[in-house]
Amino acid sequence: MTGRNTALPTTTASTRREALNSPSRRLRRALRRPTTLIVGGAAVLAVAGGIATVGTQPAIGEALGMPTASATSAPALGGTALDRAQAAATIATAQTVVETANDKTDTTTLERRIGALDDYRKLSGAALSSRISSTVDAASDVASASATQDKRDADAKAAAEAAAQKAAAEKAAAAEAARKQAAANTVAGAKATASSLAASEYGWGSDQFQCLDNLWTKESGWNYRAVNANGGATGIPQALPGSKMATIAADWQTNATTQITWGLQYISASYGTPCAAWAHSQASNFY
């Protein structure tokens, strides 16, 4: 067994950090971020042991003036060629970020960074690495800002849709209430309401409702808009003045149910039953 080669360089903490922060690693980290959208036009690099191979993306090979690697054979790159391959990949990825960014996202800085890499074939070393690094940073910023704006837009759209749905539901409810009110304001609807309230609120049966029907048919014909021209008595029960019915609800002029509710209370308090009120009306011509 041969001895350990002590002449091999030892990786220090600082050189290891530099290796982990190399442009190629920074690029790969950026490409893996969930906020970075990579689609068909993005470049692909496989980096291992400091050597890059061009794979599956013809645009990189064409940019470098070399054929695209196949699955079984790929040209190895190192040094300046590797830097330029990274530049080509960065440009392709950054352009995709620009193209797919939310329309409200400012891509001006990133587009300038892409423009600064246009002459990457003439550059090498620190200058090229610096431009790659700044482009990757700008692409990451744009992708993050775009994702944030996408969420804001989605939230705003959802809120608008929810508001529209609520407004539609309220409109439908109002229309249904208006429909029911219109039905309740008919003669048949008013009689049905009166019969129901007389039974549920006062325990008056069909015999009492017959008296009530006779009474209010004589007074108003069950017309909620009836007004006595001689004295101003108003509504189905012919309240005098009609504003008395406001003790039930403010809609006393337009709501037969409000008028009926007041009229039943008045009969109960003044005569005890509809038949008693009807008997008084027959004898005195009023109640």
pLDDT tens, residue by residue, 118-167:
999 998 888 899 999 999 999 999 999 999 999 999 999 999 999 999 99
pLDDT-based confidence at 4, cuts 50/70/90? very low
What 3-state class would DSSP assign to 259? helix
The string of DSSP codes covering 55-114 is: BS-HHHHHHHTSPPB-SS---EE-HHHHHHHHHHHHHHHHHHHHHHS-TTS--HHHHHHH
Tokens 């209430």 belong to residue: 177
Q: Is the pLDDT of residue 55 over 50?
A: no
